[in-house]
Amino acid sequence: MSRAAKIRVGGRPAARTRSERGFALLSTLAALALLSAGALSVIAELRGWSRASDHRTARARAHWAATACLEWMRAEWETERPDVWSARAVRITDELVCRVEDLDPTLRRHLGLSDSADIATLVGAERASTFLDWVDRDHEPRDGGAEAAWYRGRDRLHPPNRPLTGLAETRFIAGWPAPDDPSTSDSFTLTGDGRVDVNRAPPEILRSISALPPHRMARVIDRRSGGARWESAADLRQIFTDEDSLASSEIALFDDLFVFGPGSRVVRIVGEDRRSASVVRVALQVHVRELSDRLAVTRVEVR
């Protein structure tokens, strides 16, 4: 065999070796890239698990704070009964806080059952007008109110001209703030029968009742601030002397306007874990009943 033939024959294996080496290098690089991607994916998943675990831990701590607040509330009830229902923040630790919010409808006015004068006393005539335009059946705006044309010009949801489906709907009404604004959440409800607790409702809620003359309500508030409490409509009538006797029509209103005795109520207890910049909250809706010697919890719902 000639030398040229030997070179050609001998050269082929050398060419294949260089090709195989290049392929092996590429395969190795591809494998390393896949391993790196897999490692990054695992790290990302582990971080996700870690964040999820941290969130679960924070929720558990917030739930514990809310539960601790419930026990605090039951203990406080035995010594400071009227005050325990006041919305307040209770600091359990530097990082755990809870708040008690009384959702009792008898401490508020029923927005769907109150007349325009009562609503205006609490939030002003303009907001009363826009609310009534939102729910009434006609399409004529009141003074200071707003009907469909006003909302259409601002590309906003039009008035449905029917009763509210929930207090959250007030956010769509012209001039009304968010539903959790105190001027709304502390003043109004859409539950209950419209009666107000004469012994516990805030003075401004009592003053908003236009069915009784202002001087009558002023006397009720004055006597209550002096420590008076009433167990029935007959009890309440006793504060009006012969010189300021009640008309029979006013007497008949007492049972329609007021509730007198303690009973079932609903409170919201919010536990907060403030360890991180993003506060984690857990809310409990607690149904309680005031008995003569204790505060009985009848139902607890996690919200």
Confidence at residue 125, expressed as pLDDT on a 0 to 100 scale: 95
User: How far is 153 from 140, CA to CA, in rounded Å?
Assistant: 16
For residues 177 and 183, the answer to whether their CB atoms sit within 8 Å is: yes
Q: Which long-range contacts (CB under 8 A, 24 or more apart) does 83-92 make?
A: 85/200, 85/265, 85/267, 92/65, 92/68
Name the CATH architecture for the domain at 52-104+263-302. Answer: 2-Layer Sandwich (3.30)
For residue 261, give both structure tokens: 């005795």
Q: Which of 58-67, 95-104, 147-156 has the lowest mean pLDDT?
A: 95-104
297 with 70: CB under 8 angstroms? Answer: yes
Q: Report which listed range, 73-82, 98-107, 133-142, 170-179, is most confident.
A: 170-179
Asked if the domains 52-104+263-302 and 112-189 are classified in one and the same CATH topology, the answer is no
User: What pLDDT score was predicted for residue 116?
Assistant: 93
Q: Write down the domain spans for the chain.
A: 1-43, 52-104+263-302, 112-189, 210-256
Q: Provide mean pLDDT across the span 48-59.
A: 81
CB 199 within 8 A of CB 160: no
Query: Going by DSSP bridges, is the β-strand pair 88-91/96-102 parallel, antiparallel, or unpaired?
Result: antiparallel
217-276 pLDDT tens trace: 999 999 999 988 898 888 888 888 655 666 677 777 888 999 986 667 788 899 999 988
Tens digit of each residue's pLDDT (9 = 90 or more) over 250-261: 777 888 999 986
Q: Is residue 173's pLDDT more than 50?
A: yes
User: CA-CA distance, 234 to 144, in Å (whole number)?
Assistant: 41
**From CA 188, how far away is CA 260, in angstroms rounded?**
19
- Written as six digits, the tokens of 196 are 């107000």
pTM more than 0.75: no
Q: With beta carbons less than 8 A apart as the criterion, state whether 120 and 103 touch.
A: no
CA distances from residue 8 to 14, 126, 282 in whole angstroms, order as listed:
10, 101, 81
Give the model's confidence band at 110: pLDDT under 50 very low, under 70 low, under 90 confident, else very high: very high
Specify the CATH superfamily of domain 112-189.
EpsJ-like (1.10.40.60)
Alpha-helix runs per DSSP H in the chain:
3-77, 116-123, 125-135, 148-152, 182-185, 203-207, 214-225, 233-237, 248-257
Q: Is 236 exposed, middle or buried (0-12, 13-18, 19+ CB in 10 A)?
A: buried
pLDDT attached to residue 271: 93
Average pLDDT rounded to a whole number, residues 1-13: 50
Question: Has residue 4 got a pLDDT over 90?
Answer: no
Closest CA to 113 of 192, 5, 12: 192
Q: What is the mean pLDDT of residues 78-96?
A: 76
Low-confidence winner among 21-25, 166-170, 235-239, 297-301 (lowest mean pLDDT): 21-25
If you average pLDDT over every residue of the chain, what do you get? 83
pLDDT, position 7: 46
- Angle in degrees, 0-180, between the axes of helices 116-123 and 125-135, rounded to the nearest 10: 130
What are the two backbone dihedrals, phi and then psi, of residue 115, each rounded to the nearest 5 degrees? -85, 175
Give the whole-angstrom CA distance, residue 130 versus residue 147: 8
